Amino acid sequence: MKPGKYNMLFFFVLLLVVTVQPVAAQRGRPGGRPAIQRPPAGGGGLNRQPMHGGAVENNDMHNRNVNRNANINNGPRNSNNTNVSGNTVNINVDRSHDVNVVNNRNTMVQRNNIATYGRPPYVYGGARYYCYHPYVYHPYRPFYWGPAWHPWGFFVAALAVTAIVVTVENEKYHYDQGVWYAQSGGGYTVVAAPVGGTVTTIPSNSQTVVVNNVTNNYYGGAFYQKDGTTYKVVPPPAGAVVDNLPEGGEEVKIGNQTYVKIGETYYQPVKVDGKDKYEVTQVESDK
């Protein structure tokens, strides 16, 4: 063989060796995937790029999941505290205007001589309940005297210019159109009419109630007696029959009878001239 042919054969064998060796190395790994380039010692792998299917990619995915879970767990938790445009709203009830008022000034009763009662009292639990009219039960339905009237406990931020100041036993009240107010935090709260409170006018739709030849005017749960040119708040007179009772009362079961109790005053349901009414009850101890 000529020298030129040897040279060509040698070149062909060398080219075959160079080409086959990397392929053999690639086939030597499972799946034929290239070997992973290990990072140099000393932590130089912090800036490496993830390789598809390799350990670096898996670690990177784990970090992303950890960060995502941390964001979810540490995010704002306001599902139960929706204050704007939500279905759940936190309501803060302002009780700063609550006021403690001695309402028993008009829960005492002007007593009658029991001899004037032509019928025996109802006796139960060590007490005698005197009324002129027989007991006829009907449900307690609070009455509404109109837009200018408010029940006990009603709060207003400001009073009308028609309100006046009335001092009773060194305590200051405000009176307007049959309603009595006591100043409380940031406004005024409706209270029971204080016994002894004197005003020059009362609502024109007050009810006239005559007891023992004494004329009383009844409005919004309060009794007034005229004294010259003024009207003075008095305790409820026993035997007085009124058409309606205000809010703030409660039905109280006493034996077989049910009374409406407002403060410490008991009202017995009665029927007069075919109409449901209430009579101020005189309660005496049976001891």
CB 146 within 8 A of CB 285: no
State yes or no: pLDDT of 269 exceeds 70. yes
Query: What share of the chain has pLDDT > 70, as a percent?
Result: 63
pLDDT tens for 256-265 read 999 999 988 9
Using pLDDT thresholds of 50, 70 and 90, give the confidence band for residue 185.
confident
Using pLDDT thresholds of 50, 70 and 90, give the confidence band for residue 286.
confident
Distance CA 168, CA 173 (A): 7
> Dihedral of CA 227/230/220/235: which sign?
negative
Most distant CA atoms of the chain, gap in Å: 161
CB 153 within 8 A of CB 182: no
DSSP per-residue letters across 164-217:
EEEEETTEEEEEETTEEEEEETTEEEEEPPPTT-EES---TTPEEEEETTEEEE
> What are the sequence ranges of the domains in the chain?
103-285
pLDDT at 7: 55
Query: Of 149, 139, 153, 114, which Cα lies nearest the Cα of 239?
Result: 114
Cβ within 8 Å of residue 157, ≥6 positions away: 186, 187, 188
User: What's the mean per-residue pLDDT of the chain?
Assistant: 76
Query: Of 34, 81, 27, which Cα lies nearest the Cα of 53?
Result: 34
State yes or no: pLDDT of 43 exceeds 70. no
Segment 39-50 mean pLDDT: 42
Segment 121-127 mean pLDDT: 96
Name the amino acid, one letter, at 214. Answer: V
pLDDT tens for 52-109 read 443 434 444 444 443 444 343 434 333 333 233 333 223 233 334 444 444 444 457 9
Cβ within 8 Å of residue 216, ≥6 positions away: 208, 209, 210, 223, 224, 225, 234, 237, 240
Which is more confidently placed, 232 or 64? Answer: 232
CB 128 within 8 A of CB 284: yes
pLDDT tens for 136-176 read 999 999 999 999 999 999 999 999 999 999 999 999 999 99
Cβ within 8 Å of residue 229, ≥6 positions away: 200
Using pLDDT thresholds of 50, 70 and 90, give the confidence band for residue 202.
very high
State yes or no: pLDDT of 189 exceeds 60. yes
Using pLDDT thresholds of 50, 70 and 90, give the confidence band for residue 48.
very low
Question: Helix (H, G, I), strand (E, B), or coil: what is residue 51?
Answer: coil
